[in-house]
Amino acid sequence: MEGVNGKKVGHLFENISSFVRQCIFSVLSVGPVPSHIAFIMDGNRRYSKKQNLIDGNGHRAGFSALINMLKYCYELGVKYITVYAFSIDNFKRRPEEVVSLMKLMQEKIDELTKEESIVNRLGIRIYFQGNLKLLSDHVRSAAERAMVKTSGNSKAVLSICVAYTSTDEIVHAVQESCEEKWDEIRKLDANNDGGNLIRLEENVKDKDEHQIGVTNVDRHMYMSVCPDPDIIIRTSGAARLSNFLLWQSAHCLLYSPAALWPEIGLRHLIWVILDFQRNYLYLKEKKKQS
Protein backbone atom coordinates (compact mmCIF):
# COMPACT_ATOMS: atom_id res chain seq x y z
CA MET A 1 0.00 0.00 0.00
CA GLU A 2 2.83 2.35 0.86
CA GLY A 3 4.39 1.64 -2.54
CA VAL A 4 1.18 2.62 -4.33
CA ASN A 5 0.89 5.80 -2.31
CA GLY A 6 4.55 6.58 -3.02
CA LYS A 7 3.95 6.24 -6.77
CA LYS A 8 0.91 8.52 -6.58
CA VAL A 9 2.92 11.15 -4.72
CA GLY A 10 5.73 10.80 -7.26
CA HIS A 11 3.34 11.28 -10.19
CA LEU A 12 1.73 14.27 -8.49
CA PHE A 13 5.10 15.87 -7.85
CA GLU A 14 6.17 15.28 -11.46
CA ASN A 15 2.92 16.81 -12.76
CA ILE A 16 3.36 19.88 -10.56
CA SER A 17 7.03 20.21 -11.60
CA SER A 18 6.08 19.87 -15.26
CA PHE A 19 3.42 22.57 -14.92
CA VAL A 20 5.86 24.96 -13.20
CA ARG A 21 8.46 24.35 -15.94
CA GLN A 22 5.88 25.03 -18.65
CA CYS A 23 5.02 28.34 -17.01
CA ILE A 24 8.68 29.34 -16.71
CA PHE A 25 9.55 28.25 -20.24
CA SER A 26 6.53 30.05 -21.73
CA VAL A 27 7.87 33.27 -20.19
CA LEU A 28 11.44 32.59 -21.38
CA SER A 29 10.16 31.79 -24.88
CA VAL A 30 9.03 35.39 -25.29
CA GLY A 31 12.71 36.21 -25.79
CA PRO A 32 15.25 34.49 -28.07
CA VAL A 33 15.87 30.81 -27.30
CA PRO A 34 19.25 29.25 -28.16
CA SER A 35 19.15 26.62 -30.87
CA HIS A 36 22.23 24.76 -29.59
CA ILE A 37 23.53 24.26 -26.05
CA ALA A 38 26.67 22.24 -25.35
CA PHE A 39 27.67 20.78 -21.98
CA ILE A 40 31.04 19.83 -20.54
CA MET A 41 29.91 17.32 -17.90
CA ASP A 42 32.61 17.97 -15.32
CA GLY A 43 32.62 16.77 -11.72
CA ASN A 44 31.24 13.21 -11.68
CA ARG A 45 34.23 11.78 -9.80
CA ARG A 46 34.33 14.67 -7.34
CA TYR A 47 30.60 14.23 -6.72
CA SER A 48 31.21 10.55 -6.01
CA LYS A 49 33.88 11.40 -3.42
CA LYS A 50 31.75 14.17 -1.95
CA GLN A 51 28.81 11.79 -1.44
CA ASN A 52 31.00 8.80 -0.45
CA LEU A 53 29.65 6.75 -3.34
CA ILE A 54 31.21 3.58 -4.68
CA ASP A 55 33.08 3.71 -7.99
CA GLY A 56 30.85 4.41 -10.96
CA ASN A 57 27.88 5.77 -9.03
CA GLY A 58 28.99 9.35 -9.57
CA HIS A 59 28.79 8.78 -13.31
CA ARG A 60 25.39 7.08 -12.90
CA ALA A 61 24.16 10.18 -11.07
CA GLY A 62 25.63 12.22 -13.93
CA PHE A 63 23.61 10.20 -16.43
CA SER A 64 20.43 11.05 -14.51
CA ALA A 65 21.42 14.72 -14.65
CA LEU A 66 21.89 14.40 -18.42
CA ILE A 67 18.40 12.93 -18.85
CA ASN A 68 16.88 15.79 -16.85
CA MET A 69 18.81 18.45 -18.77
CA LEU A 70 17.84 16.80 -22.06
CA LYS A 71 14.19 16.99 -21.04
CA TYR A 72 14.45 20.64 -19.93
CA CYS A 73 16.19 21.71 -23.14
CA TYR A 74 13.60 19.91 -25.25
CA GLU A 75 10.71 21.52 -23.36
CA LEU A 76 12.31 24.94 -23.80
CA GLY A 77 12.63 24.40 -27.56
CA VAL A 78 16.39 23.90 -27.87
CA LYS A 79 16.89 21.92 -31.08
CA TYR A 80 20.50 20.77 -30.60
CA ILE A 81 22.17 19.48 -27.42
CA THR A 82 25.81 18.38 -27.33
CA VAL A 83 27.61 16.73 -24.42
CA TYR A 84 31.30 16.08 -23.86
CA ALA A 85 31.18 12.51 -22.55
CA PHE A 86 34.72 11.16 -22.94
CA SER A 87 37.88 12.88 -24.15
CA ILE A 88 40.73 11.17 -25.99
CA ASP A 89 42.85 12.31 -23.05
CA ASN A 90 40.59 10.31 -20.70
CA PHE A 91 42.12 7.12 -22.11
CA LYS A 92 45.23 8.06 -20.09
CA ARG A 93 43.38 7.36 -16.83
CA ARG A 94 43.96 4.14 -14.88
CA PRO A 95 43.16 1.15 -17.18
CA GLU A 96 40.63 -0.31 -14.73
CA GLU A 97 38.82 3.04 -14.59
CA VAL A 98 38.71 3.28 -18.39
CA VAL A 99 37.33 -0.27 -18.65
CA SER A 100 34.69 0.52 -16.01
CA LEU A 101 33.66 3.72 -17.81
CA MET A 102 33.44 1.91 -21.15
CA LYS A 103 31.15 -0.74 -19.63
CA LEU A 104 28.98 1.95 -18.08
CA MET A 105 28.90 3.85 -21.38
CA GLN A 106 27.74 0.76 -23.26
CA GLU A 107 25.04 0.14 -20.65
CA LYS A 108 23.75 3.71 -20.85
CA ILE A 109 23.85 3.81 -24.66
CA ASP A 110 21.67 0.70 -24.78
CA GLU A 111 19.38 2.28 -22.18
CA LEU A 112 18.99 5.41 -24.31
CA THR A 113 17.80 3.44 -27.32
CA LYS A 114 15.11 1.39 -25.61
CA GLU A 115 11.69 1.96 -27.15
CA GLU A 116 10.34 3.59 -23.99
CA SER A 117 13.42 5.79 -23.43
CA ILE A 118 13.20 9.57 -23.26
CA VAL A 119 15.09 9.77 -26.56
CA ASN A 120 12.40 7.88 -28.45
CA ARG A 121 9.49 9.41 -26.52
CA LEU A 122 10.67 12.91 -27.43
CA GLY A 123 11.85 12.05 -30.95
CA ILE A 124 15.55 12.85 -30.39
CA ARG A 125 18.15 11.71 -32.88
CA ILE A 126 21.54 10.63 -31.49
CA TYR A 127 24.94 11.21 -33.10
CA PHE A 128 28.23 10.02 -31.63
CA GLN A 129 31.03 12.42 -32.57
CA GLY A 130 34.73 11.71 -32.30
CA ASN A 131 37.40 9.22 -33.29
CA LEU A 132 35.16 6.20 -32.75
CA LYS A 133 37.95 3.82 -33.85
CA LEU A 134 39.48 4.37 -30.40
CA LEU A 135 36.46 2.86 -28.63
CA SER A 136 36.20 -0.80 -27.71
CA ASP A 137 34.32 -2.95 -30.22
CA HIS A 138 31.33 -3.36 -27.89
CA VAL A 139 30.97 0.36 -27.20
CA ARG A 140 31.47 1.31 -30.85
CA SER A 141 28.83 -1.24 -31.92
CA ALA A 142 26.41 0.10 -29.31
CA ALA A 143 27.02 3.66 -30.55
CA GLU A 144 26.45 2.63 -34.16
CA ARG A 145 23.24 0.81 -33.23
CA ALA A 146 22.00 3.87 -31.36
CA MET A 147 22.60 6.12 -34.37
CA VAL A 148 20.74 3.72 -36.66
CA LYS A 149 17.84 3.17 -34.25
CA THR A 150 17.25 6.91 -33.74
CA SER A 151 17.87 7.97 -37.36
CA GLY A 152 14.13 8.41 -37.92
CA ASN A 153 13.76 10.85 -35.00
CA SER A 154 13.64 14.49 -36.09
CA LYS A 155 12.40 16.71 -33.26
CA ALA A 156 15.82 17.33 -31.67
CA VAL A 157 19.44 16.22 -31.98
CA LEU A 158 21.71 14.92 -29.21
CA SER A 159 25.40 14.82 -30.13
CA ILE A 160 27.55 12.77 -27.74
CA CYS A 161 31.26 13.52 -28.06
CA VAL A 162 33.27 10.41 -27.18
CA ALA A 163 36.93 9.68 -27.94
CA TYR A 164 36.88 13.34 -28.90
CA THR A 165 39.14 16.37 -28.75
CA SER A 166 38.75 19.49 -30.82
CA THR A 167 42.33 19.32 -32.11
CA ASP A 168 41.71 15.76 -33.36
CA GLU A 169 38.50 16.97 -35.02
CA ILE A 170 40.33 19.83 -36.79
CA VAL A 171 43.17 17.57 -37.99
CA HIS A 172 40.61 15.04 -39.25
CA ALA A 173 38.69 17.78 -41.12
CA VAL A 174 41.85 19.22 -42.72
CA GLN A 175 42.98 15.76 -43.84
CA GLU A 176 39.61 15.00 -45.41
CA SER A 177 39.55 18.44 -47.07
CA CYS A 178 42.99 17.79 -48.60
CA GLU A 179 41.95 14.37 -49.85
CA GLU A 180 38.79 15.85 -51.36
CA LYS A 181 40.76 18.57 -53.19
CA TRP A 182 43.33 16.09 -54.50
CA ASP A 183 40.49 13.90 -55.83
CA GLU A 184 39.00 16.93 -57.61
CA ILE A 185 42.38 17.83 -59.12
CA ARG A 186 43.00 14.26 -60.30
CA LYS A 187 39.58 14.09 -61.96
CA LEU A 188 40.14 17.43 -63.73
CA ASP A 189 43.60 16.29 -64.72
CA ALA A 190 42.23 13.05 -66.18
CA ASN A 191 39.62 15.00 -68.15
CA ASN A 192 42.39 17.23 -69.47
CA ASP A 193 43.89 14.51 -71.68
CA GLY A 194 46.31 13.46 -68.98
CA GLY A 195 47.95 16.89 -68.81
CA ASN A 196 50.21 17.53 -65.84
CA LEU A 197 49.24 19.67 -62.85
CA ILE A 198 51.10 22.71 -64.15
CA ARG A 199 49.09 22.72 -67.37
CA LEU A 200 45.93 22.18 -65.36
CA GLU A 201 46.67 25.26 -63.28
CA GLU A 202 47.05 27.34 -66.44
CA ASN A 203 43.71 26.14 -67.79
CA VAL A 204 41.68 26.69 -64.63
CA LYS A 205 40.04 30.10 -64.64
CA ASP A 206 39.89 30.47 -60.90
CA LYS A 207 42.90 29.03 -59.12
CA ASP A 208 41.35 29.79 -55.74
CA GLU A 209 38.90 26.93 -56.18
CA HIS A 210 41.79 24.53 -55.52
CA GLN A 211 42.66 26.16 -52.23
CA ILE A 212 41.27 24.83 -48.96
CA GLY A 213 39.17 27.39 -47.12
CA VAL A 214 37.19 27.59 -43.91
CA THR A 215 34.03 26.27 -45.57
CA ASN A 216 35.89 23.16 -46.77
CA VAL A 217 37.22 22.38 -43.31
CA ASP A 218 33.89 23.22 -41.67
CA ARG A 219 32.09 20.72 -43.91
CA HIS A 220 34.34 17.88 -42.75
CA MET A 221 34.15 18.55 -39.01
CA TYR A 222 32.59 15.84 -36.87
CA MET A 223 30.12 18.46 -35.64
CA SER A 224 29.02 19.57 -39.11
CA VAL A 225 25.56 18.09 -38.41
CA CYS A 226 24.88 20.95 -35.96
CA PRO A 227 25.06 24.74 -36.04
CA ASP A 228 27.72 26.32 -33.82
CA PRO A 229 26.70 26.34 -30.15
CA ASP A 230 25.03 29.41 -28.71
CA ILE A 231 26.05 28.44 -25.17
CA ILE A 232 28.67 26.16 -23.65
CA ILE A 233 28.04 25.18 -20.04
CA ARG A 234 30.88 23.67 -18.01
CA THR A 235 30.00 22.54 -14.52
CA SER A 236 32.28 22.44 -11.43
CA GLY A 237 33.35 26.08 -11.75
CA ALA A 238 36.25 25.41 -14.13
CA ALA A 239 36.61 28.22 -16.69
CA ARG A 240 38.27 26.32 -19.53
CA LEU A 241 37.10 24.45 -22.63
CA SER A 242 39.46 21.46 -22.26
CA ASN A 243 39.83 20.95 -26.02
CA PHE A 244 36.07 20.97 -26.67
CA LEU A 245 34.47 22.66 -29.71
CA LEU A 246 37.38 25.09 -30.14
CA TRP A 247 36.53 25.57 -33.83
CA GLN A 248 32.83 26.19 -33.18
CA SER A 249 32.89 28.33 -30.02
CA ALA A 250 34.25 31.66 -31.28
CA HIS A 251 31.06 33.59 -30.57
CA CYS A 252 29.16 31.54 -28.02
CA LEU A 253 28.33 32.38 -24.42
CA LEU A 254 30.35 30.53 -21.76
CA TYR A 255 28.82 29.66 -18.40
CA SER A 256 30.55 27.83 -15.55
CA PRO A 257 28.39 27.21 -12.48
CA ALA A 258 30.08 25.93 -9.33
CA ALA A 259 27.74 22.92 -9.22
CA LEU A 260 29.24 19.55 -10.09
CA TRP A 261 27.61 17.88 -13.10
CA PRO A 262 25.27 15.57 -11.12
CA GLU A 263 24.13 18.66 -9.18
CA ILE A 264 23.13 20.72 -12.22
CA GLY A 265 19.47 21.62 -12.23
CA LEU A 266 16.71 23.70 -13.74
CA ARG A 267 17.82 26.89 -11.97
CA HIS A 268 21.21 26.77 -13.73
CA LEU A 269 19.56 26.44 -17.12
CA ILE A 270 17.15 29.31 -16.40
CA TRP A 271 20.01 31.56 -15.30
CA VAL A 272 22.10 30.94 -18.42
CA ILE A 273 19.09 31.44 -20.73
CA LEU A 274 18.42 34.81 -19.10
CA ASP A 275 22.09 35.71 -19.53
CA PHE A 276 21.93 34.62 -23.18
CA GLN A 277 18.85 36.79 -23.79
CA ARG A 278 20.51 39.76 -22.10
CA ASN A 279 23.56 39.43 -24.38
CA TYR A 280 21.70 38.26 -27.50
CA LEU A 281 22.02 41.40 -29.62
CA TYR A 282 25.73 41.71 -28.81
CA LEU A 283 26.38 38.04 -29.69
CA LYS A 284 24.34 38.36 -32.88
CA GLU A 285 26.34 41.41 -33.96
CA LYS A 286 29.64 39.61 -33.30
CA LYS A 287 28.56 36.69 -35.47
CA LYS A 288 27.67 39.07 -38.30
CA GLN A 289 31.11 40.68 -38.15
CA SER A 290 32.95 37.33 -38.36
Active site residues: 42
CB atoms within 10 A of CB 96: 9
Q: Is the CB of residue 266 less than 8 Å from the CB of residue 71?
A: no
- 34 to each of 77, 245, 253, 276, 283, how far by Cα in Å? 8, 17, 10, 8, 11
Instruction: State the Cα–Cα distance between residues 259 and 265, nearest whole angstrom.
Output: 9
Instruction: State the Cα–Cα distance between residues 281 and 173, nearest whole angstrom.
Output: 31
Q: Is the CB of residue 21 less than 8 Å from the CB of residue 269?
A: no
CA-wise closest residue to 44 among 261, 279, 255, 189: 261
